[in-house]
Amino acid sequence: MPRGLSSVDLLEEAYERRIRELVESRRKEKKVVGTFCLYVPDEIIFAAGADRVILCGGRSDTIPAAEEFLPRNVCPLVKSSFGAIVGRDREGSSPEGPLSPLDNPGSLRDPGSGACPHFSLIDMVVAEATCDAKKKMYELLEEHAPVYVLDLPQKPDSPEALAYFKGELERFRAAMGELTGTEVTDARLKREIRRSNETRRLFQRLYESRRREPPPVKGTDVLKLLQKQYFLSPEELQGLLRSACDEAEKAAPGREKKPRIMLSGCPMAGGNTKVPDIIEDRGGDIVVEESCTGTRSFENLVDEAKDPMTALAERYIRIPCACMTPNKRRVEGILEMADRFRVDGVVYYTLQSCHGYNIERHRVQKALRGAGIPMLAIETDYGDSDAEQIGIRVEAFLEMLA
């Protein structure tokens, strides 16, 4: 069995430590930006002298508050994210307004309490025009915080799309400079591009170790690092990644061969490990994740030799989200990764009512079938009511692969 990463144990204390770090940043009048998506370039945020923290929700306990505003047939990620914000305002309120860790350090709560303690530290939310549910949720979110929406071309493979997206990034660059009062110069951008590329290289190094047979690390441990990568500071994340890489590379080879599984599909926001836990508990080895909490976050570097804004536009527009059309790049990438990581089967994970990934599943399955790779499709939510049913299906799938 793959060994657990001791580096991941450090994540247990990371939440409160990071909140206190953000509180201290705010005391020093440093701006804090909240994001939801990979399409927002961290390099521009950091080059403006701001900090960044992720706002995506991966828990079911925040959803009831969101369903007072959003339809029930909206995907769990959108509802969980919005519910955490609405719940924060309700739970942490006073006659003078919402309590903030900045004003009251005792208001720090466990991240599993059904609300988002760090939302009150946000100066601006930087959103992105991906799926319809997110775009309309952002309109409601404007009642709780300033929101800047980064527009995306939906057909990314044309020169016109690249030019448009670069223009959007230029406008975002100006907005960040206005927020912080710091000019986002090319020199600052190049520095942050180098730093972000180093993080990507560390993830690539960790994934390279997972090509071994059997893999030296648990997939769920890698997922926890991926889920925290946009919450932790870049410095802390890089330190954890270096330790994880060293552990994985020095790990003694195991003897037990299990089916090698690729996870593909929707992102798994922090707090959501249901399906990976089931796969590993039932006897599978997760060796690669094709998702936003997976290879999409680090698979392409920003070209450090080019004009920084052009290089950023080129790198970020290549992210193969299911909101894009046509999305041949994603299907081709899945086949390439399946071969490179010697995958025995693919578990295609989708959230209920995530229409983009649910519809795209058919093209992925057709391509995998043509390559002789079995696929199991799982559509679920953040609750545990279907866990046993999923477990039975996963166990049968793994037995077939074995």
Question: HEC states along the chain?
Answer: CCECCHHHHHHHHHHHHHHHHHHHHHHCCCCEEEECCCCCCHHHHHHCCCEEEECCCCCCCCHHHHCCCCCCCCCHHHHHHHHHHHHHHHHCEECCEECCCCCCHHHCCCCCCCCCHHHHHCCEEEEECCCHHHHHHHHHHCCCCCEEEECCCCCCCCHHHHHHHHHHHHHHHHHHHHHHCCCCCHHHHHHHHHHHHHHHHHHHHHHHHCCCCCCCECHHHHHHHHHHCCCCCHHHHHHHHHHHHHHHHHCCCCCCCCCEEEEEECCCCCCCCHHHHHHHHCCCEEEEEECCCCHHHCCCCCCCCCCHHHHHHHHHCCCCCCCCCCCHHHHHHHHHHHHHCCCCEEEEEEECCCHHHHHHHHHHHHHHHHCCCCEEEEEECCCCCCHHHHHHHHHHHHHHHC
Instruction: Please report the sign of the dihedral spanned by the C-alpha atoms of residue 15, residue 347, residue 288, residue 249.
Output: positive
pLDDT of amino acid 88? 62
pLDDT of amino acid 99? 42
In a domain, 402, yes or no: no
In a domain, 384, yes or no: no
Residue-by-residue pLDDT tens, the chain, 402 positions: 556 778 788 887 888 889 999 999 899 999 999 999 999 999 999 999 999 999 999 999 999 999 999 999 999 999 999 999 998 655 444 333 344 555 554 444 444 444 787 898 999 999 999 999 999 999 999 999 999 999 999 999 999 999 999 999 999 999 999 999 999 999 999 999 999 999 999 999 999 999 999 999 999 999 999 999 999 999 999 999 999 999 999 988 776 899 999 999 999 999 899 999 999 999 999 999 999 999 999 999 999 999 999 999 999 999 999 999 999 999 999 999 999 999 999 999 999 999 999 999 999 999 999 999 999 999 999 999 999 999 999 999 999 999
In a domain, 373, yes or no: no
In a domain, 227, yes or no: no
pLDDT of amino acid 118? 86
In a domain, 39, yes or no: yes
In a domain, 66, yes or no: yes
Tokens 């299990």 belong to 258
pLDDT of amino acid 16? 85
In a domain, 348, yes or no: no
CATH number of the domain bearing residue 171: 3.40.50.11890
In a domain, 154, yes or no: yes
The total number of structural domains that make up the chain: 1
- Could you list the residue range(s) of the whole structural domain that residue 126 is in? 6-186
